[in-house]
Structure 1
Amino acid sequence: MTDNDTTEETSETRLVEGWQGRYYEDFEVGDVYKHPFGRTVTETDNVWMTNVTMNLNPMHFNEAYAAETEFGERLVDGTFVIALAVGMSVIDISVNATANLGYDRIRHHAPVFHGDTIFAESEVLEKRESSSRDHVGIVTTELRAYNEEGTKVLSMERTPMVLKREYAQPTAARPPGWPEGIGTEPSDGGTDD
């Protein structure tokens, strides 16, 4: 700002609501959500998952063995691909879930290799009220994962129980996962819109 500039700067702290995930009411059958952020699979991902889960198939950890197969190199552990795709979908599907009821019809359509970048999307197949819990509804989606070339590598159905908005009562001061009273509060001069 120069001496000739008469504009005054004012600073007001505002507490602004961010993305809080979808609630049961937000899902519509036929909607497709392309989940943000592709993720490149590393050799470390594969080695850790293979070792942690004690997957003894040499296709995942023995380069000499894998070189002699039809693929010519190690394959990424399929359970890692499942976990990665599910994790990528959480931001759109289950941030507000109280439980995952099932993972069904899991299919590996193509192999995943070290260095592949995985992208995921979910399509809403069905939704219904819970017959035993008033505060949630049940949503079934088809989760699909693709590599950087557009080849589908995974598909599965995923069914979480998702909170209804009226029971969650989301606010800017208390988004999903935040305990009450942590960080900036409306009483600090911010607004809770």
Structure 2
Amino acid sequence: MTDDTTANSDDSPERRLVSGWQGRFFEDFAVGDIYKHPYGRTVTETDNVWFTNLTMNVNPMHFNEAYAAGTEFGERLVDGTFVIALAVGMSVVDISANATANLGYDDVRHHAPVFHGDTIFAESEVLDKRESDSRDHVGIVTTELRAYNQDDELVLSLERTPMVLKRAAAEPSAAAPTGWPAGVGTQPADLD
């Protein structure tokens, strides 16, 4: 009796390198597109305390429960710069995985407080795109990034402008995705 699922079987599938998500390139953006970034992220007390300490933010509203209990919020608030960093990080997969630089963050607005235990979701809308005047291999994309909590309350908005590679300049491939050094992992020659 033979097992038809073995790798040595004539019926076994052909092995091949398949490109994963390579991120968007300049050509992939269109004004008016909205990308709902995958995954929500629940903010923990540890996130807030570590970030507050790392950045030396000495406002007691972020790390002093007794102080915060006496404020209008009745509890500690999550550091606003953490919320910015989290929302921007959530957008990288769709907006700037192929960026060569972030040119600016504008019109940053905190619309509502974020508390420990809130889950943040983010989306970006393409507001503008243009060719770079000084670099042929990139274009400039401006997006509005919006972050919401689990109750659909807008907690943050900002405009973000990265300089994004054009596809021809990046030359993405399954064997050499962004961030991988040449020759690491499975290579086409390994599949023969």
With the shorter chain as reference, the TM-score category is over 0.9
Question: 2:150 is matched by which residue type in structure 1?
Answer: E
Identity, in percent, stands at: 78
Residue 110 (structure 1) aligns with:
112
Q: How do 1:127-146 residues align onto structure 2 when only pairs under 5 Å count? A: 127-146=129-148
How many residues align structurally? 188
Cα distance in 1 for residues equivalent to 2:191 and 2:50: 46
Q: Return the offset for 1:169.
A: 0.6
Q: Structure 1 residues 85 and 5, CA, compared in 2 at 3 Å: closer, same or farther?
A: closer
Residue among 28, 44, 47 paired with 1:45: 47
Give the partner amino acid of 1:161. Answer: M
User: 10, 21, 25: which one pairs with 2:23?
Assistant: 21
Residues 134 and 53 of structure 1, relative CA distance in 2, 3 Å threshold = same
Counterpart Cα distance in 2 of 1:33 and 1:171: 23
Q: Distance in 1 between matches of 2:172 and 2:163?
A: 17
What secondary structure does 2:61 align onto?
coil
Whichever residue aligns with residue 144 of structure 2, its letter is E
Equivalence map 1:56-75=2 (5 Å): 56-75=58-77
Hey, what's the Cα distance between the residues in 1 that align with 2:132 and 2:95? 17
Root-mean-square deviation over aligned CA pairs: 1.5
CA 1:4–1:107: 2 relative to 1, 3 Å? same
Residue type at the aligned position of 2:156: L
After TM superposition, the score normalised by the length of structure 1 is 0.94
Distance 2:152 2:176 in 1: 38
Task: Find the partner of 1:124 among 126, 131, 145.
Answer: 126
Q: Does 1:83 align with 2:85?
A: yes
Runs of 4+ in 1 over 2 A off after TM superposition: 3-9
TM-score with structure 2 setting the length: 0.95
SS in 2 for 1:45: helix
Letter in 2 for 1:156: L
Q: Deviations over 1:45-70 (max 9, x none)?
A: 00011111111111000000000100
Give distance in 1, aligned partners of 2:99 and 2:13: 37
Match of 1:97 in 2: 99
Q: Which amino acid aligns with 1:73?
A: E
Distance in 1 (alpha carbons) for counterparts of 2:147 and 2:185: 36
Report the alpha carbon displacement of residue 13 of structure 1 after superposing the two structures with TM: 1.7
Equivalence for 1:149: 151
Partner Cα distance (1:125, 1:12) in 2: 43
Question: After superposition, what is the alpha-carbon deviation per residue over 1:113-148, rounded to whole angstroms, capped at 9, x for unaligned?
Answer: 000000000000000000000000000000000000
Q: CA deviation at 1:14?
A: 1.0
Secondary structure of the structure 2 residue equivalent to 1:20: coil
Matched AA of 1:22:
R
1:6 CA drift (Å): 7.2
